[in-house]
Structure 1
Amino acid sequence: MQSIRHAHLPPSFQSSPTSFVSAGVSCAATLMLPADHDGRPLPAILLVHGWGGIQKALTPPFYEEFTRAGFAVMSFDYPGWGESEGQPRNDIKPAQRVRDANAALAHLKTLPQVDAKRIVLWGSSLGGGHVVEMAANHPELLGAIAQVPMLDGIAAVRAVPLLRMLRFGLYAIADLLRFGRRRLYIPLISEPGAFGSMDRDDAHKALVMAKAATGMNYDNRITARSLLTMGPYRPGQWLKDIRIPTLIVGGTRDTVAPFTKSNIDRLNNPHLQTHAIDAHHFEPYFEPAFSELIGYELKFLKSLVAR
């Protein structure tokens, strides 16, 4: 993996903080507009982050490309993550995250800089799974993009070595047995072979590179009970119900969110467009895989606004 794209170029966008409320919790968000924005409502993209995703973590190159293409972009932090309020911190429940992403979408539609009739969902990793579920339930949207999406929790669980899975189970049960006491946390990302929820596909290298590029502070922990939410979550079941143009790009060597293009193509859903790239889970965020991925995404977005 090479450095993040556009690190040497001036920003292509202007950004401003915003916020919305989901289930009574105030969530931090950022609206990004093209640097030369003239005030007219723009087509917009809602960024839906993945497993441990927060604003600025791995996504700045996408802000650059999408705003250069003339889109408004909004990112946000889930409750209990990043700059958002909420307790417990760094806890994951997929159903609640979809609820939060829907609240973010509702907020985005109200912003005067945004054309509410031309909104595209964009999600990566676990967020890609959320986008698939949301796309099936929002036929009014312009389109959706899911990159390296987690579509089948069972497949993701099966990719974890048995001894690691047993240890995950013990920690998760111990966390549940704490009841009202403080949550039990484990490292979210760890070096290869070290204990953490994600140590494969250069996850730690990606974290180090992202921190160096952005200077962000990252709370690298997750509640152990979050591990129990993966297996039952199978957003790929929503693929057959999607009725808006949806681009799905996965990595052929992805062991975090295993991707099989033929399984999606077999659904014969004319609204789905798929691409497989020779990459593991984190390579698409960096060069050289980033250029291939963003090429597919920009071409897709151009086709949407031309409709």
Structure 2
Amino acid sequence: MGTSATEDGPAGAVRRDVWFESGGVRCAAWLYTPTAGEGPRPLVVMAHGLGAVREWRLDAFAERFAAQGWVVLVFDYRYLGASGGAPRQLLDIGDQLDDWRAALSYGRSLPGVDPERVAVWGTSFGGGHALRIASEDRAVAAVVAQCPFTDGPASLLSRFRSSPLSVLWLIAAAVLDVVGSLFGAKPVLAPVVGVWWMPAFLVSPTAIAEASKLMPAGSRLSPRTAGVAARISAVGRGLSPTVETGGRPFRPSETAVGRDTIWGVMKGPDGASDSANAIAARLALWLPLYRPGKDMGKITAPTLLCVCDDDRAAPARTTARLAARHDHIQVNHYDGDHFDIYVDDLFERAVRDQVRFLAARLTAPANR
């Protein structure tokens, strides 16, 4: 376990870069701690979704929670972002769940944290992980799952309806990836978001543009990625102005991603973060088997599900149906698609609801 430089956080809090170990690998994290007041404080542990990293708008949520006087731990999964591990851009469900367990253990060990007032917050694929973790960790006091991945078959059916042809391409890439891994080859990378002809995990005409809104201002595309965006209108159309497609070039091989990919390599402002619109394709073979929504009945903590009714990656109807029979689960509905909840008015509504929900559960010590 360790810490490094201190950065400014929200009013009344500081943010530090810290790390903890999971499976022998260092996981990078931000730790927000209040600067005023004393006594044990609540802790919110947070992580992102499919192939995403902390810099993709998790700081916006964390700052709102830290402003309440709560300690907040925001981590990157191993193989992604600033965390260690190889091969890069690998998403292993079991490893990510272990990363959650390690993050909770680390967070509870921090001085000034009340271990009886610990909440988990996950979004997208991480929302599914938060549900799975809360179902096995009865010491969790509250759960927030935003646009959660709850049912592999439902998400696969939704994905197939978006573009059957690219699903077949994605499955073919997954098989090649698995076969290659047996011989020590680098992962075959598939895009996280894409348009109809890409072997992407999430496909829609606006998926790339909407996902780009999560990038911090000053993010840069690699020269190869920028070239693709310039030549193929379906890729470059609607990119957020926070993303620079020209200017200072960089070598993807020198980033934490470790290699270039046609699907997209990004460097954050001032070179502070590295990410890619790409993960190992082999995940496509395991996604239909992952059904964390089935674990909701095992969760004892109050749970808030924030779902977007037009979500094609994590269908809201399925999530609401799985939650309907459980009195301890609250479902809030929002008009929008999967990425809309991270920005603008929908973000303000959702984070306000989440703060209100968590404050009611974390203000006083939980009854155990």
Give TM-score scaled by structure 2 length.
0.76
Change (3 A) 1:82 1:88: same
1:244 aligns with 2:301: yes
For residue 324 of structure 2, what is the aligned residue in structure 1?
Answer: 266
Residue 126 of structure 1: CA displacement?
0.6
For residue 142 of structure 1, what is the aligned residue in structure 2?
Answer: 141
Residue 214 of structure 1: CA displacement?
6.4
One-letter amino acid of the structure 1 residue matched with residue 29 of structure 2: A
Aligned with 1:96: secondary structure?
Answer: helix
For residue 194 of structure 2, what is the aligned residue in structure 1?
Answer: 190
The answer as to whether partners of 1:201 and 1:254 remain within 8 angstroms in 2 is no
Change (3 A) 1:220 1:140: same
For residue 117 of structure 1, what is the aligned residue in structure 2?
Answer: 116
Aligned with 2:194: secondary structure?
Answer: coil
Aligned with 2:135: secondary structure?
Answer: helix
For residue 170 of structure 1, what is the aligned residue in structure 2?
Answer: 172
The answer as to whether partners of 2:166 and 2:200 remain within 8 angstroms in 1 is no
**Counterpart Cα distance in 2 of 1:32 and 1:240:** 31
Aligned with 1:211: secondary structure?
Answer: coil
For residue 17 of structure 2, what is the aligned residue in structure 1?
Answer: 17
Identity %: 28
One-letter amino acid of the structure 2 residue matched with residue 24 of structure 1: G
The answer as to whether partners of 1:66 and 1:73 remain within 8 angstroms in 2 is yes
**Counterpart Cα distance in 2 of 1:192 and 1:68:** 41
For residue 71 of structure 1, what is the aligned residue in structure 2?
Answer: 70
For residue 277 of structure 1, what is the aligned residue in structure 2?
Answer: 334
- Equivalences, count: 297
Change (3 A) 1:278 1:174: same
Aligned with 1:30: secondary structure?
Answer: strand
After TM superposition, what 4+ stretches of structure 1 lie above 6 angstroms from structure 2?
Answer: none
**Counterpart Cα distance in 2 of 1:212 and 1:59:** 10
Give TM-score scaled by structure 1 length.
0.90
The answer as to whether partners of 2:58 and 2:74 remain within 8 angstroms in 1 is no
Aligned with 2:17: secondary structure?
Answer: strand
Deviations 1:211-244 (A, max 9, x none): 2436423222211112222111000110111111
Change (3 A) 1:265 1:171: closer
Taking the TM superposition and a 5 Å limit, the aligned residue runs for 1:157-236 are 157-160=156-159, 161-178=163-180, 179=182, 180-190=184-194, 194-200=198-204, 202-213=206-217, 215=219, 216=268, 217-236=274-293
The answer as to whether partners of 2:170 and 2:190 remain within 8 angstroms in 1 is no
The answer as to whether partners of 2:320 and 2:331 remain within 8 angstroms in 1 is no
Change (3 A) 1:42 1:213: farther
Give me the CA root mean square deviation.
2.0
Aligned with 1:204: secondary structure?
Answer: helix
Deviations 1:73-125 (A, max 9, x none): 10111111111111111111222211111111101111113222211000000
One-letter amino acid of the structure 1 residue matched with residue 314 of structure 2: A
**Counterpart Cα distance in 1 of 2:102 and 2:113:** 16
The answer as to whether partners of 2:147 and 2:307 remain within 8 angstroms in 1 is yes
Q: Which residues of structure 1 form unaligned runs of 5+?
A: 1-8
